[in-house]
Amino acid sequence: MNDEYLWDKSGPPDPEIEKLERVMGALRFRGAAPLFPSDEQFAASRRPAFSSRRWVRFGLAAAFAIAVMGAGLELLWRWKTNVQAGWQVLQIAGTPRIQDKLLNATGKLQIGQAIETDGSSRAEIEVTEIGRIQIDPETRLRVLRTPSGRSRLALDRGTIHARIWAPPGIFTVDTPSARAVDLGCAYTLHVDGNGDGLIRTTMGWVGFQLADREAVIPAGAACRTHVKTGPGIPYFEDAPETFRLAIEVFDSRTTTSEDREHALQTILSQSRKQDALSLWHLLSRVDASERPQVYDRFAELVPPPSGVTREGIQALDRDMLDRWWNALDLGNIWLWRHWERSWSEGEQSAK
C-alpha cells in the first residue's frame, strides 16, 4: 500500500484502495457543509450538562456511524449479488478444474460447485469489493448455500489464503473439523488428508468453532483443529518452541495422562504475558481440578478485571470469561459472540 497515495493521492494508486473508494463514493455527502458556532459562541452558551459542543460531537459521531452502517449494507448487497451471479475464478498456474471442467484463464464458480487443483495448478477467487481467496495445489474447495446472502465455503482438503474485507461474519469456511469465521482478517487455512486442520492469522482475527468448542485466533497466532474434537488451543507463533510443542501434546487425542500433565505444567511455567491468549482458552479445556492453577498463572500475567472472580471462572461463567478476554486487548469478544449467535439463528431458521 502506498502511503503517499493515502495522504494526498500524489503517489501511484493502490488497486485495492481504489476499489474501496468506489464503494464508499456512493455514500459521499454531497450537500453544503453545515455552519457551526465559533468557540466564543460555545463558551457564551453556558448550557449545563449536555453542552452545545457535546451535541456537535454527538452529531458527528452519529453521522459517522450512519455512514459506516451504510457502507456495510452496500457491501452486503454487493456480496449477495456476487454470490448469486457466481464468483470470478482466475487461473494462476496449471489446469484447475471446476466441476471436472478445465478452467481456461477465467471462469465462474456457482453455488454447489467445487474447484479442484492438482499438484501443479493454482487459482484465485475474486469477489469484487469483498476479498480474494488464493487456492494452492492439491486443494478441493466447494461453495455452499446459506441463508441471508452470506457466503460459506467448504475446504475438503488442501490450502487456501483468504484476504477478506467484508463485514465481519459474512464469510465462513467449513472444514471437516471446524468452521472458520472471518472477523475482518487475512489468514491461511490448511486441511490434511485426515481432515485435521491448521489456521494461521496474519491480520485481524478469526473465530474457529465446532459445536460448543471455540477458539479465537488474532493476528500472529495459529490454531490446530482435529476431527471430532474440534479447535485446539491457539498460540502465538513467536512463542518458545517448547511452549508450542507442549500445546500440541496437550491437544493430541493420543496423549497419555502423564504426558498431558507434563505438557500442562510446561505451558504454565513458560507462558509469557502475551501467552495469556493460550491460557484463556486453556481455562475451558482443563478439568475442574486443574483450573485453579491455570487461573493463578493467568492472573499473574493479566490481573482479572472488575467483576471477574475466582469462583466465577472456576464455574466457567461466560460473562466473566468474556470480560477477561477483553482485558487482553486482542479485540472485543462481543463481535465474535454477535456473529456466533447470528449464524446459529440463521441456520435454525433455514431448517
pLDDT tens digits, one per residue of 143-154: 987 655 567 899
For the chain, what's the residue count? 351
209 and 299 assigned to the same domain: no
Task: Kindly state whether residue 213 falls inside one of the protein's structural domains.
Answer: yes
The stretch 121-131 carries a mean pLDDT of 85
206 and 258 assigned to the same domain: no
185 and 309 assigned to the same domain: no
Vertex 190 angle, CA 186 and 192, to 5°: 175
286 and 345 assigned to the same domain: yes
3-class secondary-structure state, position 258: helix
Separation between Cα atoms, residue 217 and residue 96, nearest integer Å? 31
Separation between Cα atoms, residue 294 and residue 280, nearest integer Å? 9
- Identify which has the larger pLDDT, 85 or 219: 219
61 and 140 assigned to the same domain: yes
Separation between Cα atoms, residue 114 and residue 154, nearest integer Å? 9
- Name, of 7-11, 41-45, 105-109, the range with top average pLDDT: 105-109
214 and 80 assigned to the same domain: yes
* Domain end point (choices 216, 232, 248): 232
Of 168-172, 197-201, 206-210, 317-321, least confident by mean pLDDT is: 168-172
Taking the complete model, does pTM exceed 0.75, yes or no? Answer: no
Domain count for the chain = 2
* Domain end point (choices 214, 232, 250): 232
Q: What is the pLDDT of residue 10?
A: 62
Instruction: Kindly report, residue by residue over 233-280, the tens digit of the pLDDT.
Output: 999 999 999 999 999 999 998 889 999 999 999 999 999 999 999 999
- Identify which has the larger pLDDT, 263 or 2: 263
Task: Kindly state whether residue 165 falls inside one of the protein's structural domains.
Answer: yes
Domain of residue 336, residue span: 239-351
Separation between Cα atoms, residue 139 and residue 121, nearest integer Å? 9
Separation between Cα atoms, residue 351 and residue 349, nearest integer Å? 6
Query: What is the domain-level CATH number for residue 168?
Result: 2.60.120.1440
Q: Is the pLDDT of residue 216 over 90?
A: yes
Task: Kindly state whether residue 225 falls inside one of the protein's structural domains.
Answer: yes
Task: Kindly state whether residue 322 falls inside one of the protein's structural domains.
Answer: yes
- Identify which has the larger pLDDT, 298 or 29: 298
* Helices (H) then strands (E): counts for the chain: 11, 18
Separation between Cα atoms, residue 234 and residue 173, nearest integer Å? 18
Separation between Cα atoms, residue 30 and residue 341, nearest integer Å? 37
Q: What is the CA radius of gyration of the chain?
A: 24
- Identify which has the larger pLDDT, 71 or 285: 285
What are the cell numbers at 342?
Answer: 447470528
3-class secondary-structure state, position 265: helix
Q: Indicate the pLDDT class of residue 5, thresholds 50, 70 and 90.
A: low
Tell me which residue of 273, 299, 267, 304 sits closest to 286, measured CA to CA.
267
Task: Kindly state whether residue 16 falls inside one of the protein's structural domains.
Answer: no
136 and 253 assigned to the same domain: no
Q: Is the pLDDT of residue 346 over 80?
A: no
254 and 327 assigned to the same domain: yes
The stretch 63-84 carries a mean pLDDT of 45
What are the cell numbers at 146?
Answer: 446459506
Task: Kindly state whether residue 13 falls inside one of the protein's structural domains.
Answer: no
Separation between Cα atoms, residue 240 and residue 256, nearest integer Å? 23
* Domain end point (choices 232, 259, 288): 232
Task: Kindly state whether residue 38 falls inside one of the protein's structural domains.
Answer: no
Q: Is the pLDDT of residue 54 over 80?
A: no
Instruction: Kindly report, residue by residue over 84-109, the tens digit of the pLDDT.
Output: 557 899 999 999 999 888 888 889 99
DSSP H or E stretch at residue 67: helix 52-85
225 and 265 assigned to the same domain: no
Q: Indicate the pLDDT class of residue 11, thresholds 50, 70 and 90.
A: low
Q: Is the pLDDT of residue 36 over 50?
A: no
| Alpha-carbon distances of 166 from 91, 127, 132, 142, 338, rounded to whole Å | 23, 10, 10, 19, 16
Task: Kindly state whether residue 71 falls inside one of the protein's structural domains.
Answer: yes
Mean pLDDT of the chain: 80
Of 17-31, 76-90, 119-133, 168-182, least confident by mean pLDDT is: 17-31
Q: Is the pLDDT of residue 296 over 90?
A: yes
262 and 204 assigned to the same domain: no
168 and 263 assigned to the same domain: no
110 and 223 assigned to the same domain: yes
